[in-house]
Amino acid sequence: MMLTRCCAALLLTVSAQVSAQTTDSTPTPVPPPVAIPSTAPVTPAAPAVPVPATPPTPPVAPLTSRLYAGASVAPSLSGNGTAYGIVVGSSQVFGSFGAQVAIDYVTSSGAISVDASLLYRLKLAGKLQPYAGGGLGLTSSAVTTPAPTGTTQTAATTTATDYAANLIVGSDYLLTDSIALSGEAMYRAAFSSKGSANGAGLRGRLGIKFLF
C-alpha cells in the first residue's frame, strides 16, 4: 500500500514538471510595430522643364521663281575698258528660262550699255546655279564731229546708238537664302559702229545679287 502511494506521488511530480516545461517553451507573441506618422513637411517634386527641340537648319532655297537685283564690275577682255553696273532679273519667267537686264557704264569712254537676255538655268539642288543664254543690247556713246577746215566753228559732239547681240555663260553661287555671288562671260557682236564705243567684244562680269 505504501509502495502504491509512493508511485502515485512520483507520477504526479513528473507530470507537473513536464507541464511546466511545456508552458515555458511556448513563445510569447510579439505585437506588430506601430507606424508613427512623420511630422516633417513633404516637399513636392519640381515639374520637369521641357527642353525645346532645336529646329533643323533649312536648306538654301534654289533660285526657282525668284526676283533679284545686284551690282557688278565688268572688265573688258577686248581692251574696251572696265564697266560698272547693275543687274535686275527673275530666275524663272517660264519653264527653266529666266530673264536679266544689265546696265553698264564704261568709265574710260563714257559709254552706257543696256543688255536684255533670256537665260536657261539648270535646276540643280546645290549652291552652284549655272546658266547660259543670249539676247539683244544697245550702246550709247559720244560722237565727235570735227569742225570744217578753214572755219572758226568748233567740233560738235553728239550721241550715237549702236545695237548688238550677246551670248552669256555664267553661274550664281548661293551664299545664303537671299545673297548670291555671280560670275559670267559675255560676248557682244555689234551690228554697227556709229559711236566712239559700240560695246563689241568679250567682257567678264563679277557681282553680287540680292534675292527676293
Residues 202-212 pLDDT 10s: 999 999 999 99
Beta bridge partners of 158: 143
Task: Please state, in angstroms and rounded to a whole number, the distance separating the CA atoms of residues 175 and 189.
Answer: 33
Task: Please state, in angstroms and rounded to a whole number, the distance separating the CA atoms of residues 5 and 15.
Answer: 15
Residues 192, 198, 200: CA angle, nearest 5 degrees:
95
Task: Please state, in angstroms and rounded to a whole number, the distance separating the CA atoms of residues 194 and 141.
Answer: 9
Closest CA to 121 of 42, 184, 58: 184
How much of the chain exceeds pLDDT 90, in percent? 52
What pLDDT, in 10s, does the model give residues 192-204? 999 888 889 999 9
The CA distances from residue 172 to 44, 66, 116, 200, in Å, are 60, 13, 18, 24
Helices (H), the chain: 2-25
Beta bridge partners of 196: none
Q: Is 204 exposed, middle or buried (0-12, 13-18, 19+ CB in 10 A)?
A: middle
**pLDDT at residue 146, as a whole number:** 76
CB 211 within 8 A of CB 171: no
CATH of 67-147+154-211, picked from 2.40.160.20, 3.40.50.40, 2.40.50.100, 3.40.718.10, is 2.40.160.20
**Range with the poorest average pLDDT among 52-56, 85-89, 154-158:** 52-56
**pLDDT at residue 78, as a whole number:** 85
**Cell digits for 50?**
521641357
CB 107 within 8 A of CB 84: yes
Residue 6 phi/psi, 5-degree rounding, is -65, -40
Helices (H), 51-122: none
Q: How confident is the model at residue 70 (pLDDT cuts 50, 70, 90)?
A: very high
Task: Please state, in angstroms and rounded to a whole number, the distance separating the CA atoms of residues 130 and 110.
Answer: 31
